[in-house]
Chain A
């Protein structure tokens, strides 16, 4: 009777360990998965800020804030509006839909109210533009490529 009970307990223990193992694996792969799809915000080294809130990042990309705290003009760079990295940046970092940004930027550009971010064709071009433009801001797929620029930490 006791033997039978201990067998059941062992089986239960095994089950828990197995479940925990699979959970760990899931979390591990989940981390890799989310890492591979992360978007990081980068700025030119001359920019003194190192942390943004989501709403501050929104202010910059909706052109409501066009100067840094030290008075230097912000030059924002983006990829074409159908580019997968742009779609991810818009959704994950700005928590907006790409068409909302298009609407704001088109209104500024074609009615003379202001200027929109500069569109470049590839992630490499975007990286180079941020690297060589004082006051520039942009985004990259992975911070591994982020040499010669500062990475901004985004707080929710």
Chain B
């Protein structure tokens, strides 16, 4: 009886709050317009891959290139704000298809004056440490349909895109030395069994857990300069618990440490960007109870964009990835696996050309072509699939139409 009453009271309380919000919004439509902001995007494309299972296993032209998103931001007071975004992604084999909460956070403007600004974010936040890490799912906010996989590997998308935890951003806008930004974030990601299949192998029957992820980055843009420079560091640990009843793998742990540098040049017509990442990836156990691997991988890209006019932009890019800097051509890996995993799974190079045309302020169409050498950035990662990916060279073209508001 008391329980029922409590429930009724709770419902009444919630209804009262809802009515109060509705009344407040109706009474202050103009004020609400500035406090509540909502935006979104819709995009659909066609993608054709020849010579790999990057998108699908049958190699046919695919429409599995859908990205939708809707977000809202509500200013609670002058220093507190709520924000959230939901996205639906379908990229075939690139990542798990479905709807995700991209971010859902409380933004606290802890300090501000004309030159300083400190924001603290609590909840689910996006990775804001690399050049395109926070806009990788937003088709018109990234430079190409497919980002350089060496750094923005789609197989790691759900882990690398953000985390649940806390983040801080400290900004200084200096009238003599330009803009300085420092970001730090700490959190972790839940890992679904679909995601575990993509990273490890469908044969892994156990569970993967991300223990933590700590990231820091620092950016500097000199005053009125077209250049911006950045450095970042990432540290993250994962644990694998084998399925005791039946599993090909053993208990194990994975550890990532990445150091990176990046630069961006924004001229009137020319734009250049580049990133270099060096990662140590340590695996303890997993393959055998006593196994220990800790290769250092190198990955980088250089990108140039040329704006012919306000509507048309051309793109050129080259990227390269070596999973072990001491075994760039993969011969050692092929020998170690007795030829089971071909040498070309140890690296990934991509040469890209593309164009982007703005049909209006909110409508864009993109086209691009990629030439790849190596299959080091195809899923699954830990136990690769050389039966489907039996070719060292493969190509891709894609076209995508996007609308945003």
Contacts and interface: CB of A to CB of B under 8 A. Distances in A.
Interface in A17-65: 53, 55-56, 59, 64-65
Most B CB contacts (10 A, CB to CB) among A75, A106, A110 go to A110
Interface in B154-174: 169, 171, 173
A67 B117 CA distance: 10
B3 interface: no
A128 B221 CA distance: 35
Contact of B173 (A65, A106, A118): A65
A98 B309 CA distance: 12
A97 B268 contact: yes
B112 A67 contact: yes
Chain A, interface size category, equals: 35 or more
Given A69-B114, A80-B361, A82-B310, A106 B34 contact: no
Interface in B111-134: 112, 114, 117, 119, 121, 125-126, 128, 134
Nearest to B109: A66
Interface string A57-88: 00100001111010101010000111100010
Interface residues of B, number: 49
Given A87-B310, A109-B71, A112-B105, A132 B30 contact: yes
Contacts of B360: 82
A65 B174 CA distance: 12
Given A97-B268, A118-B34, A112 B85 contact: yes
A76 to B, nearest CB: 11
A111 B134 contact: yes
Interface of A: 53, 55-56, 59, 64-67, 69, 71, 73, 75, 80-83, 87, 95, 97-100, 103, 106-107, 109-115, 118, 132-133
17 contacts: A55-B173, A55-B224, A64-B171, A65-B173, A73-B78, A83-B361, A97-B266, A97-B267, A110-B85, A111-B138, A112-B102, A113-B121, A113-B126, A113-B134, A115-B81, A132-B30, A133-B30
Interface of B: 30, 34, 37, 39, 41, 69, 71, 73, 75, 78, 81, 83-85, 102-103, 105, 107, 109, 112, 114, 117, 119, 121, 125-126, 128, 134-135, 138, 140-141, 169, 171, 173, 175, 179, 223-224, 266-268, 271, 307, 310, 358, 360-362
